[in-house]
Structure 1
Amino acid sequence: MEYLVIGIVVLVGVGVFRYFRQKNVVTILTEDQFREGYRKAQLIDVREPQEFKKGHILGARNIPVTQMKQRLVEMRKDKPLYLYCQSGSRSARAAQLLHKKGYTDINQLKGGFKKWTGKIKNG
């Protein structure tokens, strides 16, 4: 029983730590906030190419999180980054990686592409 309680406390502590670390790395934006700024920023879809081809936010570039380390040269550090994925977890990972590489103005779409109601491009 003691080990179970200790395990739960550790898991909750790790979750809280990740939450606050994530808050310092990325600004999570509502769809309206995201829409206000993404045209002046680097709009990056971090999903896999097959997902991107099925539909993406108009004007987005596809740089999958799985390829991000190799494609850093495609993103400027002096312009805001607007990231999204399907639900938000991959764009959060991408934000962590970009932060470690020196990017500072990183923004993420709350709820991801599945919550997006704006213009999209299919195919």
Structure 2
Amino acid sequence: MDRTKMIQWGVIIAAACAMCAAGCTDYADTGEVTDGVPFPGYSNMTIEEASTFVLKASTLVVDVSPVWAQGHIPGAVNMPLATLEEELTYLGRDREYLIYCHSDTASIQGTETFVANGFSPVYRLEGNFAGWTDAGNPVEMPGYRNVTAEQAKNAIDATGSRIVIVDVSSAYLEGHIAGAVNKPLATLETELKTMDKSRPYLIYCHTDAASISGAQAFVDAGFNPVHRLEGNYAAWTDAGYPVAVGKEI
């Protein structure tokens, strides 16, 4: 091959490499290939970008660490790597997902697990939790929020069926908030493993002790946000809000 052709081939190869590099700028390489084409995977997101992104209603922030209870990004749910694969089975797919942990290795593993299970769009937080706190962003401690019957009704009306209303009593068939599902305290720990963490929850019963126990169980399992109905079922009926009897279809 003469010198002119060698130069031409060099230019072509360099251009091709530049195009490949440009196409990979926004994505992490998962190493997966679909029909011979590299899967783009997920996008890395800076702390600055994330500080606005987490405020979007469509965003679900997922902490894949085992120390979520020691402090986390506000609104984040907890899905530890140890149980992540199983939990994804029950997770809603109508959200944008931002994944983080306390190390690149863990957050990359968590994010790639989302991608491998068909979730999109998926983002990974650059700098992880330390980057978030170093930037002076707020941190949230786990806990449920008490709400009045009026506040609960307004939230339900505003979001439609998105809020999952959970009756943790054994008297559900005798009367319950319209649209509520029954997850009795006796079986709640097992039931929580098959519930969608991308949804907000309203917990109630017939006594404070029972509703507090139920709401705390949701928090301990990494759900967020969790609300507890103040005054329980009686407060709801006293306000004249809709109820149902028997098993709902």
Query: How high is the TM-score relative to the length of structure 2?
Result: 0.38
Q: Note the alpha carbon deviations across 1:22-44, whole angstroms, 9 max, x for none.
A: 79211111111111212220111
Q: Following the alignment from structure 1 to structure 2, what is the Cα–Cα distance between the partners of residues 76 and 89?
A: 25
Q: Following the alignment from structure 1 to structure 2, what is the Cα–Cα distance between the partners of residues 118 and 21?
A: 29
Which amino acid is 2:30 matched to?
R
Q: Which has the higher helix share?
A: 1
Task: Map 1:13-24; keep pairs closer than 5 Å.
Answer: 20-21=29-30, 24=40
Structure 2: gaps of 5 or more residues = 1-27, 32-38, 143-249
Structure 1: gaps of 5 or more residues = 1-18
Residue 86 (str. 1) matches residue 111 (str. 2): no
1:62 aligned to which of 73, 78, 81: 78
Residue 43 (str. 1) matches residue 61 (str. 2): yes
Q: Following the alignment from structure 1 to structure 2, what is the Cα–Cα distance between the partners of residues 21 and 100?
A: 9
1:37–1:74 distance in 2 versus 1, CA, 3 Å: farther
Number of the residue aligned with 1:101 = 117
2:61 match: secondary structure: strand
Residue 30 (str. 1) matches residue 49 (str. 2): no
Number of residue-to-residue matches in the alignment = 103
Q: Which 4+ stretches in 1 moved above 3 angstroms?
A: none
Contact 1:28/1:108 (8 A) holds in 2: yes
Q: Following the alignment from structure 2 to structure 1, what is the Cα–Cα distance between the partners of residues 137 and 124?
A: 15
Deviation at 1:74, TM superposition (A): 4.3
Number of the residue aligned with 2:183 = none
Q: Following the alignment from structure 2 to structure 1, what is the Cα–Cα distance between the partners of residues 79 and 103?
A: 16
Give the number of the structure whose alpha-carbon radius of gyration is greater.
Answer: 2
1:77 match: secondary structure: coil
1:56–1:74 distance in 2 versus 1, CA, 3 Å: farther
Q: Using CA pairs below 8 Å that are at least 6 residues apart, which structure has the higher relative contact order?
A: 1
Q: Following the alignment from structure 1 to structure 2, what is the Cα–Cα distance between the partners of residues 114 and 87?
A: 9
**Percent identical residues:** 21
Residue 121 (str. 1) matches residue 140 (str. 2): yes
